[in-house]
Amino acid sequence: MDFKQWRHIFKLDPEKDIDDRSLEAICESGTDAIVIGGTEGISFDNTIELMSRVRRFPLPCILEVSTMEAVVPGFDFYFVPLVVNAQDPKWIFGQHVEGLVEYGPFVKWEEVALEGYIVLNPSAKVAELTKSKIETSSQEIKAYARLVDQMLKLPILYLEYSGAYGDPQLVRDAKSVLKQSRLFYGGGIQNVEQAREMGAIADTIIVGNVIYENLSMALKTVSAVKED
Ligand code: 1GP
């Protein structure tokens, strides 16, 4: 799965309803991939149901694993977040070890990539859940970026502003020290200008909420980053 070429991803939340026409528009928008993931209300049933609906379209469908209950086989690929600024150790390695106890022997490692997550919106559910220590100074962001890129050598650094538009300067700071990790930016992209702005700094932008709030605007974020 060559996510290193992707510029745009739509993230669908299994807890939220999406009708067939909207789903078709999202899947045929020209986006590079669909990621299924969310923070609350994620179950095996709602995840497999959404996966099978996305599966009718010829684009990669990835599960972002956030809970053990919803580890569903049959995705093209799996992103596993490692929340590097979580203060609850469960979200650093606790859950991962629990998952490996159960599924370790069955994992196809060529279908898995770890995402070094930095949670940056203090009001996001994910910040509360993981008890993330929110850092907004350039020095600390660079330190986390180096941790993910150089110390841990993870393939992806994910700046997660979920629900709020981030600070482009901090995204630039993180990008400036990366040597090999791909930079994913997600959070609060609501229009073409924001998609362009973050897309010019990050390697890949992730667009979530606006799908459910303003579908036509969501669709326009694709060409905003893919026409370059
Ligand atoms: C959420 O980073 C994604 O995990 C996208 O954020 O829902 O705010 O677009 P939004």
185 CA closest ligand 1 atom index: 2
Single-letter residue type at 27: C
Q: HEC string of 94-163?
A: HHHHHHHHHHHHHCCHHHEEEEEEEECCCCCHHHHHHCECCCCCHHHHHHHHHHHHHHCCCCEEEEECCC
Q: Would you say the CB of residue 182 lies under 6 angstroms from ligand 1? A: no
| Per-residue pLDDT at 175 | 98
| pLDDT on residue 228 | 54
189 lines ligand 1 (CB under 6 A): yes
Q: Which pLDDT value is given to residue 107?
A: 92
Nearest CA to ligand 1 atom 9: 208
Mutation probe of ligand 1 site: the residue of 209, 212, 215 with most atoms within 8 A of C-beta: 209
- Mark 207-223 as b/e (b = at least 16 C-beta within 10 Å): bbbbbeeebebbbebbe
Cβ(199) to ligand 1 under 6 A?
Answer: no
Q: pTM here?
A: 0.96
Average pLDDT of adjacent 10-residue blocks, the chain of 228 residues: 93 97 98 94 94 97 91 95 91 89 92 96 90 91 97 98 96 98 98 98 98 98 87
Ligand 1 centroid, distance to 27 Cα (angstroms): 17
Count other C-beta atoms under 10 Å from residue 97's C-beta.
Answer: 10
Q: Which pLDDT does position 89 carry in this prediction?
A: 85
How wide is the angle at C-alpha 127 spanned by C-alphas 92 and 19, nearest 5°? Answer: 105
Cβ–ligand 1 distance for 166 under 6 Å, the answer no
Instruction: Give the per-residue pLDDT at 93.
Output: 87
What's the CA gap between 23 and 12, in Å, rounded? Answer: 9
Residue with tokens 């667009």: 207
Q: Considering only CA atoms, which of 226, 166, 216 is closest in space to residue 196? A: 226
Residue 117's identity, in one-letter code, is Y
Given this model, what pLDDT does residue 40 score? 85
Rounded distance between C-alpha atoms, residue 23 and residue 16, angstroms: 12
> CA-CA distance, 210 to 220, in Å (whole number)?
11
CB 163 within 8 A of CB 187: yes
- C-alpha distances (whole Å) from 60 to each of 2, 29, 51 are 10, 13, 11
CA of 120 to the centre of ligand 1 (A): 12
